[in-house]
């Protein structure tokens, strides 16, 4: 068995900054409420005409990751693209990136695991590299939330938290002790309805939605039972981090850097406290970018790495929880 490691990281966020005060002009909310409940100060939204989309933002992050990995795009053996907001219903963003990068026929796979999408994507990449089937895998997380949010009071607890952006990582076969030690994935479909966007879909096509003209339970906007998601998140984050540490015979004291999915600053702070980590051992950036779902971990990981917060030999832990419910962790020796 081989071991995989991350050799290149990249990120991209649109220029357009949307502050909490901007949102309070659209719905009945306030900077105080948003900051107190979520820690978010601002987020980025694609602006009409700025040329961005989920695939394009993913492409920008991917190009940076490939440059930093110092490999040629043609050496990529597999593309894994995680998103809940693809440009098209089909085909997925994976093949769009492949075309835009100009890579001829490597396999391209889309992962639909929402906030846990990047962790799932890293796990997929790791398995293919471990078995020796592929050597270099590009994993991308990208989201265009802003185009599909309900900016009215009806969804204010959902729409204030999400932002747009993308992050990417290039993984390759490791030639030393460093790399991904293990990945741990879970899901629990009984909670499908607690955080979902159900239409348009094969269950409900557009004409049907228009005919029904719903006012309350609008299927084409995300809906979320925020408190239930919050309660499950804090439990599952802790469980799956401990699962990863136990698997490797490690303890929470061994963690050098923790990169949580940026769901809510209060969730990250709760987990930080449970793990007994200092502020310098956790990287949060939800204050600037909001919750970017599958993009949040690669954006935060890239930013932490750019700031020099991750050094060779460090034990880095990634963990995510989100819609599905799905959750997972990645334990890395950098
Ligand atoms: O990444 C995917 C996973 N997602 C998450 O992890 C999200 C987890 N959940 C959360 O982060 C929190 O539940 C939210 C931030 C989404 C909501 O915070 P909350 O403390 O659970 O608020 P709530 O929905 O229980 O609402 C509390 C009050 C309500 O008013 P009343 O009934 O007490 O009068 C809401 O109507 O706050 C009101 N409210 C708002 N007020 C101002 C809800 N949203 C807003 C808002 N601005 N945006």
The tally of domains found in the chain comes to 2
Boundary of a domain, candidates 124, 159, 175: 175
β pairing state of 17-19 and 42-44: antiparallel
- Among residues 115, 184, 283, 284, the one annotated as catalytic is 115
Q: Whose CA is nearest to atom 35 of ligand 1?
A: 157
Work out which ligand 1 atom sits closest to the CA atom of 266: 11
DSSP character string of 239-271: HHHHHHHHHTT--GGG-SEEEE--S-HHHHHHH
165 and 189 in a common domain:
no
Centre of ligand 1 from the C-alpha of residue 244, in Å: 30
116 and 14 in a common domain:
yes
pLDDT at 217: 79
Centre of ligand 1 from the C-alpha of residue 165, in Å: 23
Query: For 15-43, b where at least 16 C-beta lie within 10 A, e where not — what string?
Result: eeebebeebbeeeebebeebeebbbbbbb
Centre of ligand 1 from the C-alpha of residue 22, in Å: 18
Q: What is the domain extent for residue 212?
A: 180-333
186 and 40 in a common domain:
no
Boundary of a domain, candidates 126, 144, 175: 175
14 and 152 in a common domain:
yes
Boundary of a domain, candidates 142, 175, 208: 175
> Best of 24, 27, 29, 37 to mutate for ligand 1, by most ligand atoms within 8 A of CB?
37
Centre of ligand 1 from the C-alpha of residue 226, in Å: 6
Q: Whose CA is nearest to atom 28 of ligand 1?
A: 157
261 and 158 in a common domain:
no
195 and 171 in a common domain:
no
The answer to whether residue 261 is catalytic is yes
pLDDT at 213: 78
Lining ligand 1 with CB less than 6 A are 29, 33, 37-38, 115, 156-157, 160-161, 226-227, 229-230, 233, 263-264, 267, 291, 322
152 and 46 in a common domain:
yes
188 and 171 in a common domain:
no
- Among residues 52, 144, 285, 291, the one annotated as catalytic is 291
Q: pTM above the 0.85 mark?
A: yes
Centre of ligand 1 from the C-alpha of residue 263, in Å: 12
pLDDT at 101: 97
What CATH number is associated with residue 315?
3.40.47.10
224 and 135 in a common domain:
no
Q: Whose CA is nearest to atom 39 of ligand 1?
A: 157
288 and 186 in a common domain:
yes
- Among residues 45, 184, 261, 283, the one annotated as catalytic is 261
- Contact assessment for residue 261 and residue 116, using Cβ atoms and an 8 Å cutoff: yes
- Contact assessment for residue 297 and residue 118, using Cβ atoms and an 8 Å cutoff: yes
The answer to whether residue 106 is catalytic is no
Spell out the residues 6+ positions from residue 241 whose beta carbon is closer than 8 angstroms to its own: 252, 258, 271, 275, 317, 319, 329
How many angstroms separate the CA atoms of 184 and 229, rounded?
20
pLDDT at 89: 93
β pairing state of 78-82 and 42-44: unpaired
287 and 184 in a common domain:
yes
φ/ψ bin of 43: left (φ > 0), alpha (ψ from -120 to 50), beta (otherwise): beta
The answer to whether residue 136 is catalytic is no
pLDDT tens track of the chain, all 334 residues?
Answer: 999 999 999 999 999 999 999 999 999 999 999 999 999 999 999 999 999 999 999 999 999 999 999 999 999 999 999 999 999 999 999 999 999 999 999 999 999 999 999 999 999 999 999 999 999 999 999 999 999 999 999 999 999 999 999 999 999 999 898 999 999 999 999 999 999 999 889 988 888 888 887 777 788 999 999 999 999 999 999 999 999 999 999 999 999 999 999 999 999 999 999 999 999 999 999 999 999 999 999 999 999 999 999 999 999 999 999 999 999 999 999 9
166 and 195 in a common domain:
no
Spell out the residues 6+ positions from residue 165 whose beta carbon is closer than 8 angstroms to its own: 11, 12, 13, 14, 44, 57, 142, 143, 289, 292, 295, 296, 299
Q: Whose CA is nearest to atom 11 of ligand 1?
A: 264
pLDDT at 68: 98
């Amino acid at each position: 068995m081989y071991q995989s490691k991350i050799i290149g990281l990249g990120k991209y966020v649109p220029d357009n900054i949307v502050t909490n005060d901007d949102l309070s002009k659209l719905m009945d909310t306030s900077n105080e409420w948003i900051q107190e409940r979520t820690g978010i100060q601002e987020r980025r939204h694609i602006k009409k005409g700025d040329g961005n989309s989920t695939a394009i933002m993913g492409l920008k992050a991917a190009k940076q990751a490939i440059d930093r990995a110092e490999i040629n795009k043609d050496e990529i053996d597999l593309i894994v693209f995680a998103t809940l907001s693809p440009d098209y219903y089909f085909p997925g963003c994976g093949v769009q990136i492949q075309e835009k990068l100009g890579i001829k026929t490597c396999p391209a796979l889309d992962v639909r695991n929402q906030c846990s999408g990047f962790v799932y994507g890293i796990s997929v990449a790791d398995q293919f590299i471990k078995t020796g089937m592929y050597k270099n895998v590009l994993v991308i997380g990208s989201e265009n939330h802003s185009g599909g949010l309900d900016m009215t009071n009806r969804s204010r607890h959902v729409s204030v938290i999400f932002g747009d952006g993308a992050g990417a990582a290039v993984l390759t076969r490791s030639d030393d002790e460093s790399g991904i030690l293990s990945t741990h994935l879970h899901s629990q479909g009984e909670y499908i309805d607690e955080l979902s966007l159900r239409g348009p879909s094969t269950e409900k096509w557009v004409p049907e939605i228009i005919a029904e003209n719903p006012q309350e339970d609008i299927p084409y906007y995300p809906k979320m039972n925020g408190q239930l998601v919050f309660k499950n998140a804090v439990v599952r984050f802790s469980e799956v981090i401990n699962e990863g540490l136990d698997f490797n015979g490690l303890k929470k004291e061994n963690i050098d850097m923790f990169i949580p999915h940026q769901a809510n600053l209060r969730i990250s702070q709760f987990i930080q406290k449970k793990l007994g980590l200092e502020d310098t051992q956790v990287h949060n950036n939800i204050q600037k970018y909001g919750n970017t779902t599958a993009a949040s971990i690669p954006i935060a990981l890239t930013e932490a790495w750019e700031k020099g917060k991750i050094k060779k030999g460090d034990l880095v832990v990634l963990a995510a929880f989100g819609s599905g419910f799905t959750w997972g962790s990645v334990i890395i020796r950098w």
